[in-house]
Structure 1
Amino acid sequence: MTRPHPDHRTHAGTHARRIAAVLAVLTIALTGCATNAPAPPPSAAAPPIVSEPEAGAFPVSIDHAFGTFTLDEAPERVVTIGWATEDISAALGVIPIAVPSSWAGDEDGFVPWFREAVEGSGAPLPTTLTDLSGGEIDFEQILALRPDAIIAPFSGITDTQYERLQGIAPTLAYPEKPWLLDWQDHTELVGRALGRPAQAAKLVADTQAAIAAHGAEHPEFRDATFVYSTGVGEGTTDVGFYAPTTSLIGIIQDLGLTLSPEIVAEAERFPDEIYFGISLEDIDTVHADVYLGLVNDQAEVDASLAHALFRNWQPIANDRAVWLTDREVSQAVAAPSVLSVPWVLDEFVPELADALKR
């Protein structure tokens, strides 16, 4: 799974093509369905449930962007689509039977915190959904798995795709817009769907406490501003920034930092976007104490630093940049969950503190 990058301010050009390709990996393009589904693979035959649903949790009905998700009883064969939902499901004791393959994962497609949770539960690792050309997911594979629930609240599925998924099993889409859900609401929504709302609330509280503890060790965070960026886009003269509504912004704010006021103001021009661009010529109007750069590798760092206007911008010139080039760390911070956040805090927070000292 590849993380999204901001597109050009006009939502065209190279960045736009990259975003389309990235989000396609996280979205299902489905094109038909057999009438009689084949039996599920033997490896997925045993429901991987390691906790019981809470009393009175079912039946459950949850409204979302495309309709209402309804279950009369606890699901046992769950497929997740999108980002971080598999983390939440596993943390709740419902190991999915199939999950997306993570762009930051190991050779089997699993990020370490998810693998640790599943293996620690004693349940088998799930099937990874097959990526087809163009970022499609194998529709027949999902059908063959015979899920009794498809959970996709942090994804980019379309209404047409939702209808096809709903034809396989009750499907939970996002509340209003794709990719706009903070990690707390994400956890609580999945908790309701899986019949474990109190457990989900506790996971949120425990994770918030861990974040607060790390933030308390660094009172300097309270006086610091930040931006979250993807650097200078290839073939453009824009610097990409994530909007305040994205979950990756929330986790930094939870540590005590404040998003740059200029980014907050600029984001109001693009209320339906999770990312936008600011021209290099205007970059000095954005003020921040620390720069967080979400990139694929050092080559993207070097490409950004090749631009003099970017190099001379306040946080970069002051050497207050944290470039997230490690894919696991990058994924843990970019798609925070009740599993990834505790996993990454010990590594990420010291890097952030060191940058502010420079």
Structure 2
Amino acid sequence: MARRYRGLGMLVAVLALSIGVVTGCSSPDESTDGGAPIQVNTPKGAVTINGVPKRIVTLGAQWIDVSLAFGVTPVAYLDNIQVLTGSPAPWSRDKLKGSTALSTDDIVSQIAKAKPDLILATGYMAEGQQAMYDSVSKLAPTIPGITGKQIDPWQDMVTFMGTVLRQPDKAKEITDGVNAKIDATKTELPGLDGKTYTMAYMYSGDQIQVLADPEDGANSLFTSLGMSIAPDLVNQFRANHQPRFPVSTENVPLLNSDLLVITANTDQLMSTLQKLPGYQALRSVKSGAVSRMSVAEIGGLNEPTPLSIPYLLDKMHPALQKAAA
């Protein structure tokens, strides 16, 4: 079932489960007890969650982190970051002890063995196979992405989980805590406001994948800091309508911005990038505002979560300081 994808795009499309999009959620009436049913409306039909789920299966890194932020360890999980790198992200791996990592082989039977009472999946999995969705959704109430976007806003996911777990106060605490971290960075580095950034992934010797769509979920953290994607990349997006696209190595000047967040598959590729014509002339490189990420770390930016954001703000802090100067 696993697919091979290139660049930044593969971080949000490793897996395929054809799961519908949530269009509405009805919270329990205040007059009922905490276990009242919750109805979630999706294009596949209404999904009802009876009571507070105890055995949650999470499909995708975002739901894994949201669950862990509530102190809920999924009984089983399918992690697109782990599929790519061989281990969970550094901000979550110590919290997954006792949980079963699912492989992409015969996933339906693996999920069945976990005996879930709720299955949570991310929106991009809706682009997969109808038969797979039909099989998975028969095992337990199955909730796809909650906004219809490829990458759901982490805040919406936290709010949803708080509703499902009947812990709205905890949801607010989690969201407020992450926002406080973001606000502290903005207060410390006011010079970030109005600055530009490039997020890029060199996955081969002649191709660099870039993020270019200002509406992409991966842009949310930088938008919160007052930053925007490099204008030349946005212009390319407006012309080709591709949210993420490859840039050939002779077009390195397209990466020009105040901050460069870069990933390369290997140290050798990173060295190759640094030697390309135009790289040393990039504004971010000249100022030292370059943050090199691992594949797992770029995944945490690509799919922001309440656990990845604080970790990655610390990781990028030296480069953010340079960009803000």
Q: Deviations over 1:38-66 (max 9, x none)?
A: xxxxxxxxxxxxxxxx9557321223454
Q: Aligned match of 2:15 in 13, 26, 34? A: 26
CA distance in structure 2 between the aligned counterparts of 1:280 and 1:217, rounded to whole angstroms: 35
Q: Which secondary structure does the structure 1 equivalent of 2:174 belong to?
A: helix
Q: Work out whether residues 149 and 169 of structure 1, in 8 Å CA contact, stay in contact via their aligned partners in 2.
A: yes
Please report how far the alpha carbon of residue 338 of structure 1 lies from its aligned counterpart in structure 2 after TM superposition. 1.3
CA distance in structure 1 between the aligned counterparts of 2:262 and 2:323, rounded to whole angstroms: 12
User: How many equivalent residue pairs?
Assistant: 310
Q: Hey, what does 2:145 align to over in structure 1?
A: 174
Q: Hey, what does 2:178 align to over in structure 1?
A: 207
Cα gap change, 1:217/1:176 in structure 2, threshold over 3 Å: closer, same or farther? closer
Q: Hey, what does 1:130 align to over in structure 2?
A: 103
Question: Are residue 323 (structure 1) and residue 286 (structure 2) matched?
Answer: no
Of the structure 1 ranges 216-225 and 188-197, higher mean CA displacement relative to structure 2 is found in 188-197
Q: Work out whether residues 102 and 109 of structure 1, in 8 Å CA contact, stay in contact via their aligned partners in 2.
A: no
Q: Hey, what does 2:229 align to over in structure 1?
A: 259
Cα gap change, 1:87/1:154 in structure 2, threshold over 3 Å: closer, same or farther? farther
Map 1:244-283; keep pairs closer than 5 Å: 244-269=214-239, 273-280=242-249
Map 1:87-166; keep pairs closer than 5 Å: 87-101=65-79, 103=81, 109-117=87-95, 125-132=98-105, 138-157=107-126, 158=128, 160=130, 161-166=132-137
Map 1:24-103; keep pairs closer than 5 Å: 25-28=14-17, 56=34, 58-64=36-42, 66-101=44-79, 103=81
Please report how far the alpha carbon of residue 166 of structure 1 lies from its aligned counterpart in structure 2 after TM superposition. 0.6
Please report how far the alpha carbon of residue 28 of structure 1 lies from its aligned counterpart in structure 2 after TM superposition. 4.7
Q: Work out whether residues 162 and 173 of structure 1, in 8 Å CA contact, stay in contact via their aligned partners in 2.
A: no
Cα gap change, 1:299/1:285 in structure 2, threshold over 3 Å: closer, same or farther? closer
CA distance in structure 2 between the aligned counterparts of 1:346 and 1:219, rounded to whole angstroms: 16
CA distance in structure 2 between the aligned counterparts of 1:193 and 1:224, rounded to whole angstroms: 38
CA distance in structure 2 between the aligned counterparts of 1:329 and 1:254, rounded to whole angstroms: 18
Q: Work out whether residues 242 and 274 of structure 1, in 8 Å CA contact, stay in contact via their aligned partners in 2.
A: yes
Please report how far the alpha carbon of residue 194 of structure 1 lies from its aligned counterpart in structure 2 after TM superposition. 3.7
Q: Work out whether residues 78 and 149 of structure 1, in 8 Å CA contact, stay in contact via their aligned partners in 2.
A: yes
CA distance in structure 1 between the aligned counterparts of 2:198 and 2:178, rounded to whole angstroms: 23
CA distance in structure 1 between the aligned counterparts of 2:227 and 2:4, rounded to whole angstroms: 23
CA distance in structure 2 between the aligned counterparts of 1:323 and 1:343, rounded to whole angstroms: 14
Cα gap change, 1:66/1:268 in structure 2, threshold over 3 Å: closer, same or farther? farther
Please report how far the alpha carbon of residue 331 of structure 1 lies from its aligned counterpart in structure 2 after TM superposition. 3.9
**Identity, % of aligned positions:** 22
TM-score by structure 1 length?
0.72
Q: Deviations over 1:18-41 (max 9, x none)?
A: x56x65643359xxxxxxxxxxxx
Of the structure 1 ranges 240-249 and 220-229, higher mean CA displacement relative to structure 2 is found in 240-249
Q: Which secondary structure does the structure 2 equivalent of 1:343 belong to?
A: helix
Please report how far the alpha carbon of residue 102 of structure 1 lies from its aligned counterpart in structure 2 after TM superposition. 5.8
Residue identity in the other structure for 1:291: L
Residue identity in the other structure for 1:210: K
Please report how far the alpha carbon of residue 91 of structure 1 lies from its aligned counterpart in structure 2 after TM superposition. 1.8
Cα gap change, 1:87/1:109 in structure 2, threshold over 3 Å: closer, same or farther? same
Q: Work out whether residues 225 and 260 of structure 1, in 8 Å CA contact, stay in contact via their aligned partners in 2.
A: yes
Of the structure 1 ranges 141-150 and 187-196, higher mean CA displacement relative to structure 2 is found in 187-196
Of the structure 1 ranges 248-257 and 238-247, higher mean CA displacement relative to structure 2 is found in 238-247
Please report how far the alpha carbon of residue 114 of structure 1 lies from its aligned counterpart in structure 2 after TM superposition. 2.5
Q: Which secondary structure does the structure 2 equivalent of 1:99 belong to?
A: strand
CA distance in structure 2 between the aligned counterparts of 1:181 and 1:3, rounded to whole angstroms: 22
Please report how far the alpha carbon of residue 190 of structure 1 lies from its aligned counterpart in structure 2 after TM superposition. 3.2
Q: Work out whether residues 290 and 320 of structure 1, in 8 Å CA contact, stay in contact via their aligned partners in 2.
A: yes
Map 1:334-349; keep pairs closer than 5 Å: 334-349=302-317
Please report how far the alpha carbon of residue 145 of structure 1 lies from its aligned counterpart in structure 2 after TM superposition. 1.4
Cα gap change, 1:125/1:296 in structure 2, threshold over 3 Å: closer, same or farther? farther
CA distance in structure 2 between the aligned counterparts of 1:156 and 1:352, rounded to whole angstroms: 32
Q: Any unmatched runs of 5+ in structure 2?
A: 19-31
Q: Which secondary structure does the structure 2 equivalent of 1:186 belong to?
A: helix
Please report how far the alpha carbon of residue 212 of structure 1 lies from its aligned counterpart in structure 2 after TM superposition. 0.6
Please report how far the alpha carbon of residue 163 of structure 1 lies from its aligned counterpart in structure 2 after TM superposition. 1.8
TM-score by structure 2 length?
0.78
CA distance in structure 1 between the aligned counterparts of 2:43 and 2:269, rounded to whole angstroms: 36
Cα gap change, 1:91/1:64 in structure 2, threshold over 3 Å: closer, same or farther? same
Please provide the CA RMSD for this pair: 3.6
CA distance in structure 2 between the aligned counterparts of 1:350 and 1:206, rounded to whole angstroms: 22
